[in-house]
Amino acid sequence: MSFSNLKNARQSKQSKSYVNTPSTSGASVTSTAATAPVSEGSKPEEISASGLYASLPLHIAIRATEETGRGLYAKQALKAGSVLISTKPHASALSTLYLESHCSSCAAPGTATGLKRCTRCRTVLYCNATCQNLDWSIHKHECQALQKWAAAAPSPEVAVPNDAVRCLGRICWRKRAKGSDSIWAREINAMQSHRASIPASAQQKYTHLAHSLVRYLGLSSPEEIAEFGFASPGDLVDIISRFITNSFTLTSPSLTPLGVCVSPLVALINHSCDPNAVLVFPRASNDPSTQEPLMQVVAIRDILPGEQILTAYVDTTLPRTLRQQALKEAQNFTCACTLCAHPPPVDLQEVIWCPKTCGGMCPLPTEENDLVRCTKCQAVVADTDAVLDALRVGQEALDKATSLQNSDPTHAHRLTSKMIPILTSARIVPSSHPLLGLQRLHQYLLIATLSDGCTQERLDEAIQVASKSAAGISSILAPGHPIRAIELAELGKLLAVDEPAPAQPGRPQDFPPSGPARLKMALDTLIRARAELLIAFGGVNEGGQVGREVRESIVALEKELGVWKQGIKNAIEDIPKPTKSR
């Protein structure tokens, strides 16, 4: 495989992400339709969809409980790898970083012939006229708003509003066009709003978003606000609250966060840190320009009849304390899933190796509790201050490198290169935070440097880092989780890249191996990756775009290895047979 096949494999997973953020409880739902009449206890109660959600499949029901409000439930057994919901979002917007490189209609990356730029606003680009025409009914409003925004911008850095403002603008224009009584608008209004319980810490965010939206939509009078079906400025806060609570990260088929999108149906799904389903954008459609971006909810475990369908709102590679903190801050609820309520005695997301190297592990020390022991040999960790220091600087470096990854990748790479050995020497286990995050970011930055020149040294280093990331991820995420499947696919693809200067025969090299052994390892890894991709991105989608690419690589590698084996066979047959000596 040539190096170019690796491009687009994965870019950063570390950038800002949207989640479908929840509010306090079912009682605070202010929806106008399909609102949850919450049950007395925790027994889920079936509720009517009130004519909404045309794409709700027959095998899924909307039910509600006192504790979590509405949710989606399986009416029949659902197999891992089956696509539970497939729907186009009501609205989506690319983040500013991707406006130049992706189509603003179908979210595909630019092709070799290049994307076509809107000649009026010069801000959005499209694959072709089909994509442009499909987007025109909304973009015609957006186009003018973007031009006005750019003309008034004090500097080029703020010449385009952020994706949240642009997505909200798209929702408002579409709502105005369809009418407040349309099913489309009723579905938007049925999404949960936190207007009544906005935490003080979030007030500034809401105010800023509201000001930006008013400016972007060009609203200057109550009459203009009314045109969008808002009875008062308070209704504007409501739509912002619904957006913040229910928006999702729009991702590429390899999980790169590309922007934001909203689907009222998918927003009915509640959260678990141990989810049985995932939300992905596999690019499954046969008619990409008209259907994409297509959101799909895929079961990653077998789901029983009556079981609730649950996805994770937060990055589940993070330790429990950070997940809980993120859910509380952004979504105002305390997660009581099995992983949070009954954490395992050794949580692989926050552990160090035993100081006596017995093979056991110790929980991470904290400022409050610095007396920690190996759970296997009971050895006490003596150097807790050093571990705490390493964790603190590791977190700082991860935050800094994450923020610099696109603007100054060299600096970000220096930071990850420096920090990984420090955390490793503090005996942090590779699946633990923040080492895993640093490792994954380092891998992304290394792969990016390969495009400047793929030397054997750089390629081998990228493979070593990818292998550690894949091992760390595999120890904490279940088989078939998309992050795990993509990590394995990336490792396999790196192993399959043609070696610029393979190690000479006879020169032993531990890892990665060279020559045919490397190809065999690539093949095995890609076969494992494909099995997981078929679950993560749906069997009917053949594992999505990445699954289809991996299948092609497997076929190519099998051929290559076949040629090699045949070559050996031929060479053996060509060796003249020793003649019998007299």
Ligand X SMILES: C[S@@+](CC[C@H](N)C(=O)[O-])C[C@H]1O[C@@H](n2cnc3c(N)ncnc32)[C@H](O)[C@@H]1O
* Site residues (vs ligand X, CB under 6 A): 20, 22-26, 29, 36, 67-71, 192, 245-246, 267-268, 270-272, 331, 333, 335
| Distance of closest approach, residue 443 Cβ to ligand X, in angstroms | 31
| Closest listed residue to residue 211, CA positions, set 198, 222, 220 | 220
Quickly tell me which residue has 């088989």 as its tokens. 479
Tell me the C-alpha distance between 169 and 220, whole Å: 15
What single DSSP character describes residue 480?
Answer: T
| Distance of closest approach, residue 19 Cβ to ligand X, in angstroms | 9
| Distance of closest approach, residue 434 Cβ to ligand X, in angstroms | 25
Tell me the C-alpha distance between 280 and 551, whole Å: 19
By beta-carbon proximity to ligand X, the closer residue of 331 and 514 is 331
**Contact, 139 vs 124, CB < 8 A?**
yes
Which residue's Cβ lies closest to ligand X?
22
By beta-carbon proximity to ligand X, the closer residue of 43 and 507 is 43
| Distance of closest approach, residue 26 Cβ to ligand X, in angstroms | 6
By beta-carbon proximity to ligand X, the closer residue of 71 and 360 is 71
| Closest listed residue to residue 35, CA positions, set 74, 68, 70, 72 | 70
| Distance of closest approach, residue 327 Cβ to ligand X, in angstroms | 8
**Contact, 465 vs 393, CB < 8 A?**
no
By beta-carbon proximity to ligand X, the closer residue of 67 and 235 is 67
What single DSSP character describes residue 26?
Answer: G
By beta-carbon proximity to ligand X, the closer residue of 26 and 437 is 26
By beta-carbon proximity to ligand X, the closer residue of 254 and 270 is 270
| Closest listed residue to residue 213, CA positions, set 223, 199, 224 | 224
By beta-carbon proximity to ligand X, the closer residue of 24 and 128 is 24
**Contact, 338 vs 308, CB < 8 A?**
no
By beta-carbon proximity to ligand X, the closer residue of 275 and 293 is 275
Element (H, E) at 139: helix 129-152
Quickly tell me which residue has 């600087």 as its tokens. 393
| Distance of closest approach, residue 433 Cβ to ligand X, in angstroms | 21
Side chain identity at 519, as an amino acid letter?
Answer: L
| Distance of closest approach, residue 66 Cβ to ligand X, in angstroms | 10
Biggest distance spanned by C-alpha atoms of the chain:
112
By beta-carbon proximity to ligand X, the closer residue of 28 and 403 is 28
**Contact, 480 vs 535, CB < 8 A?**
yes
The alpha carbon dihedral of 35, 66, 18, 103 has a sign of negative
| Distance of closest approach, residue 307 Cβ to ligand X, in angstroms | 14
| Distance of closest approach, residue 62 Cβ to ligand X, in angstroms | 9
CB atoms within 10 A of CB 416: 25
| Distance of closest approach, residue 376 Cβ to ligand X, in angstroms | 33
The alpha carbon dihedral of 133, 190, 193, 89 has a sign of negative
Tokens of 538: 């749906």
Burial class (CB in 10 A: 0-12, 13-18, 19+), 43: exposed
DSSP assignment of 32-83: SSS-----SSSS-EE---TT--TT--TTEEEEEETTTEEEEEESS-B-TT-E
By beta-carbon proximity to ligand X, the closer residue of 237 and 438 is 237
Tokens of 32: 């106008």
Tokens of 449: 């440097």
